[in-house]
Structure 1
Amino acid sequence: MSNAQEKFNNQFSPEMLADILSLPKRVIESRIRKGELKASSDGYIDQKQLEHFPEVKSFQNSTWDEELNINPLRPYSLIELFAGGGGLALGMEQAGFNSLLLNELDKHACSTLRHNRPNWNVINSDISKVDFTPYWGKVDLLTGGFPCQAFSYAGKSLGFEDTRGTLFFEMARAIKETGPKVIMAENVRALLTHDNGKTLATIKSVIDELGYTLIEPKVLKAIFYKVPQKRERLILVAIRKDLSSKVNFIWPSVYKRVLTLRDALKKGELYNTNVPESAGQSYPKRKAEIMEMVPQGGYWKDIKDIDVQKEYMQKSFFLSGGKTGMARRLSLDEPSLTLTTSPAQKQTERCHPIETRPLQTREYARIQTFPDDWHFQGPISAVYKQIGNAVPVNMAAALGRSLVNLLNNIELNN
C-alpha cells in the first residue's frame, strides 16, 4: 500500500469530512479554527478524533469483505429499464444476477451493451412500445433509473393511471406486466423534494397500488461504496406484499475508506495499472492558458490575476454564490466531483489535476469504476454522456449484493 493510501485510511481532509458528514466545508474549517477539531500541518484530521460520528464509525465497522461472499442460492433473473451504458447492469451482474432483458432508447448506449455483452437481450426501443407480458412470473428483480418528471394532478387518487404519459408510468406498467419479487429504482436526490414532494408521494402511492411494500427510500453516497467520486443517488427498494412480511432488506455496508482520484488514475487498490491513454476533449488555446493558472483542487477564485478572473467569468463574476464548479481543477487527494455528461462545461468544469485538459473518457470511466475492458461505443460526446449518466459500478454491485441477500431470504422463507 502506498504512503498516500495509508494516509487516507486514517485521515480526512476538511473537504472530504464535509462530504462524509453532509456539512458545508466552512463548518469543518470553523471547528478547526475554534480548536474543536485538530488538523495536522498539512490540514488533515485524524480519524480517532471523529469516532463519535456514526458516519466515520461506519468505516471501522465495515462488513464489506463479508458481504463480498454473498452469492445467490439460485440464478436470479433481472429486467433493467433505462439501462444506459451499463453501470447498473454490470454491477448487478457482478453481484450474481442474470439479465433477461435490458431496455434503452439511446442507440449508442445499446451498442455499448451489445459490444460488451453479446449474450444480453438488449431492446433498443421506446419503452412505451415494449410488451413485458411474456415475462410474467419469470422476474426476480426489476430495476430502472427513470427520469424525474412531474405528474399531472387533475385527479386526486394519485394512482397508477394518474402517472400516464411519464416514464415512471412505463416502469410501473412493466412491474404490473411482470410481477417481479423485488423492484429497485434509482434517481437523483432531488426527487425527494421534486414538485414539493408530490412526485415522490405519487410514486409511493403507485408502488403500494401495484402490490409492493416500499422500504424507506435512502440516498446513497458513492464515496461510501468504493467509488472515488462525490456522487449521490436516491434508491427505492420495494418487495411484493405476499413476500414482504417474512423478510427484511439490509442496506449495503460502507467500504473501509474513502477512495480518491489518485485511486482511479494510478495503479493501486482499484486498478492494477495506471489509467491508459484514451480519447478526450481539449481546451481552446485561451481557456487552456487560463486553466493553467488554477492550482490542483482550485477553481476560478484561485486565479491570482483578478482581470483574468473577470475575463473568464464574464457576467457571472458579479453574481452571488461561490460557483465552485467553474474553472475547477480536480485534486488527486480528494474524490472527484460528480461527473457530468461533459468534462468541459463552464459551470461544471472537470479539469485533470496535473495536466491542463479535461478528463479523458477512460479517466471518466475509472471514476465511475468501470473496468478497463468495458468499451463504450459511439462518438466521443456519446461516450462522455453514457459514462456521466451511469450508476457507479462498485456502488451498483454493493446494492446488488444486498438485493441478492434479500432474494436469498425470500427463497428460504417461502
Structure 2
Amino acid sequence: MSSPGTQVHPLDEVRILDLFAGPGGLDVAAHFLGFKSVGIEWDRNACETRYAAGLPTFHADVSVMRETRFDEIPVSVEVLAGGPPCQSFSVAGRGAGRAALETVKKFIRRLVSGEDESLIDKDLHTLGVDPRTALVLEPLRWLLKAIETEGRDPYRVIVLEQVPAVLPLWHVYAELLRSGEGRLGGVKYEADCWELKTEQFGVPQTRTRAVLVARLVGSGTVERPEESHLPFDVRRGRGNAAQVRLPTDSDAKRRWLSMAEALDAASALDDSSIDTSRLRTKGKTKFFVVSNYGSNGNPKNRGRRLSSEPAFTVTGKISRNKVYKSGSDYEAQRSDRFTIAEAGVLQTFPHNFPWSGNDQAQQVGNAVPPRLGMHVLSSALRGTAPSKDELTRSTTWPAVTESTAEELRAIGCGDQSRCPQNGHKVTRAARKSAP
C-alpha cells in the first residue's frame, strides 16, 4: 500500500468517492484498509486538513459538483460513501430534520419515480425545508446520475452514515435500492441499515450512528459489521467504579476502550504528539470530564465521565468540555481542556494527524470516527473485519510533504474560481500541526 505522500497521481485508481468528506474520517479508514479515495468538501478549513494529510479532495459543493463537474470524478470509482451534514437531524440541534422526516421520505420516492428534479427542488424550496436537511437526498442523486450517465457503471457499493434520527430514511433508501424501480432502471442492490454504537468497535467514546450498506446484486450479501467490543452501560451509577462492566472468561468480546487507555496508548507511540503527564496522579492517568451539555433536560446538570470510561460523544464543542484531575480537591483546581490532537485520538484519528486551518475542534467533531469507518468499509467491501495489523497501523499517519499538499491544493482549489462562493474569502490559514 502506498503512502498518501508517495502516490504517482492523486486520482489514479481511486475506488471510493466520499461525499461531505469533512477532514477525512472515512478516507483515513479507507487508506489503512488499502483503498484509495477522493473526497468532496465545501469547508475550506477541512480541505486544508485534508491537503496536509495527503487526501485527494475537490473543494466544492456536492450538488454543484454533481450537476456541472460530474465528469471530473474518476471512472474507477465504484464505491459511493458519505455522511450528509447532520445538524438539522441531531438531537443536539433544533431537530428541523427530524420533524421533516415524513416529508423527506416522500421526496426520496419522488426522485426515484422519475419526476422532474427541478420540480422537486422547487417544492423543497417552497416548503422551506432546511437546505442541510435536503442534502440527505444527495447520495441518491449521485447514484441516479451514475446510472444515467453514458460510460459510467452503477456504484458497486454504497456506504452512508448519519445520526440515529435518520435511520427511517435509510430504510426507505434500502427498500428502493432493493426494488430497482423507476430511475434505478432495474439496477438492484442488497441493502440493509442499522444503528451502530462506536464503543463496540474500539472507539473510546459513546456515539451512535445510523449506517446503510448496499451492494449490487451479485456482489455478495450485506451483513451487519460484527462488533469487536462490549457495549458501555450509560445508565450505571455515576462515579461508582464497582459498577463498570468488566469482561469475564465467558465474554467473546473485549471491554470497551476508555479515554485513559486510548490517550496513554497514543502517548507511548514514537514521536507522539500526546502528553498526558498533566492528567496523571501518582503515575496514573486519572481525570474526569464535565460535559458542555446539560443532561436529563436540565442545561445546568452537566454530565460527567471518568477517565476509566469512554468519552461523551465528541462534538465540535469538545474544546468547551472541562477536564479535571481526579482527587478530592478537584473543585480547587483550574479546569483543563483536551488538545485538538487528544480530541482526535478520542475519535480514533492517528495521534499525529495534521489538523490544519481554523475551526479544528469543529472539524474533529464533524468527522466519522476512522475506527468505526474501518469496520464498516471492511465489512462492506471485503465481508470481513479489519485485520489486527491494519488496526495497529491506524494509530500513526504517514508523513506528507509540503509539495504533495500543494499538488492536492492545486487539484482541489486550482485558481479558486470553481470553489464554493466565498470559499476563500478568508485568507488560507498557514498549515499547522495539532498541539
| Shared fold per TM-score greater than 0.5 | yes
Q: Does structure 2 retain, via aligned residues, the 8 Å contact 1:343–1:351?
A: no
Q: Which of 57, 60, 64 is the equivalent residue of 1:129?
A: 64
- Displacement of 1:327 in angstroms is 3.9
CA-to-aligned-CA distance 1:11-64 (integer Å, 9 cap, x gap): xxxxxxxxxxxxxxxxxxxxxxxxxxxxxxxxxxxxxxxxxxxxxxxxxxxxxx
Aligned match of 1:259: 257
Tell me which of 158, 165, 172 is aligned to 1:190.
165
Query: How far did residue 183 of structure 1 move?
Result: 0.3
Q: CA deviation at 1:146?
A: 1.2
Per the alignment, residue 306 of structure 1 pairs with: none
TM-score (norm 2): 0.57
Q: Which residue of 1 aligns with 2:376?
A: 399
Q: Which residue of 221, 225, 234 maps to 2:210?
A: 234
Q: Normalised by the size of structure 1, how large is the TM-score?
A: 0.60
Q: In structure 1, what is the equivalent of residue 16 of structure 2?
A: 78
Counterparts of residues 147-162 of structure 1 (less than 5 Å): 147=85, 148=89, 149=97, 150=100, 151=103, 157-160=109-112, 161=115
Tell me the residue number matched to 2:355.
Answer: 376
Maintained 8 Å contact 2:21/2:40: yes
SS class of match (2:379): helix
Q: Secondary structure at the match of 1:391?
A: coil
Query: Are the aligned partners of 1:265 and 1:275 in contact in 2 as well (CA < 8 Å)?
Result: no
Report the residue type matching 1:174 in the other structure: W
**Structure 1 residue matching 2:15: 3-state secondary structure:** strand
Post-superposition offset of 1:217: 0.8
- CA deviation after TM superposition for structure 1 residue 350, in Å: 5.0
Q: Tell me how large the CA RMSD over aligned residues is.
A: 3.6
Question: Cα deviations across residues 254-304 of structure 1 (Å, max 9, x unaligned)?
Answer: 1433110111221379956776259xxxxxxxxxxxxxxxx954769xxxx
Query: How many residues matched?
Result: 287
Residue 159 of structure 2 aligns to a residue whose secondary structure is strand
Equivalent residue number for residue 167 of structure 1: 135
Measured in 2, the distance between the counterparts of 1:155 and 1:248 equals 26
Structure 1: state its 5+ residue gaps.
1-74, 279-294, 301-311, 408-414
Q: How far apart in 2 are the matches of 1:133 and 1:252?
A: 37
How far off its partner does 1:140 sit? 2.2
- In the TM superposition, residue 87 of structure 1 has moved relative to its aligned partner by 1.2
Q: Residue 104 of structure 1 is aligned with which of 35, 41, 46?
A: 41
Q: 1:272 to 1:259 in 2, by over 3 A?
A: farther
Tell me what 2:31 maps to: 93
- Identify the residue that residue 81 of structure 2 maps to in structure 1: 143
* Cα distance between partner residues in 2 of 1:344 and 1:326: 18
Aligned-residue offset at 1:86: 0.9
Structure 1 contact 264–363 (Cα < 8 Å) conserved:
no
Paired with 1:356 and 1:332, the residues of 2 have a C-alpha distance of 15
In structure 2, the residue matched to 1:24 is none
- The 5-angstrom pairing of residues 7-406 of structure 1 reads 77-99=15-37, 101-117=38-54, 120-130=55-65, 131-133=69-71, 135=73, 138-147=76-85, 148=89, 149=97, 150=100, 151=103, 157-160=109-112, 161=115, 164=121, 166-178=134-146, 179-192=154-167, 197=168, 199-207=169-177, 208=179, 209=181, 210=184, 211-241=187-217, 243-244=218-219, 246-249=220-223, 251-255=225-229, 256-267=254-265, 276=274, 297=288, 321=296, 323=298, 326-343=301-318, 349-354=321-326, 356-379=335-358, 382-406=359-383
Q: Aligned pair in 2 of structure 1 residues 167, 361: CA closer, same or farther (>3 Å)?
A: same
Residues 82, 144 of structure 1: 8 Å contact kept: yes
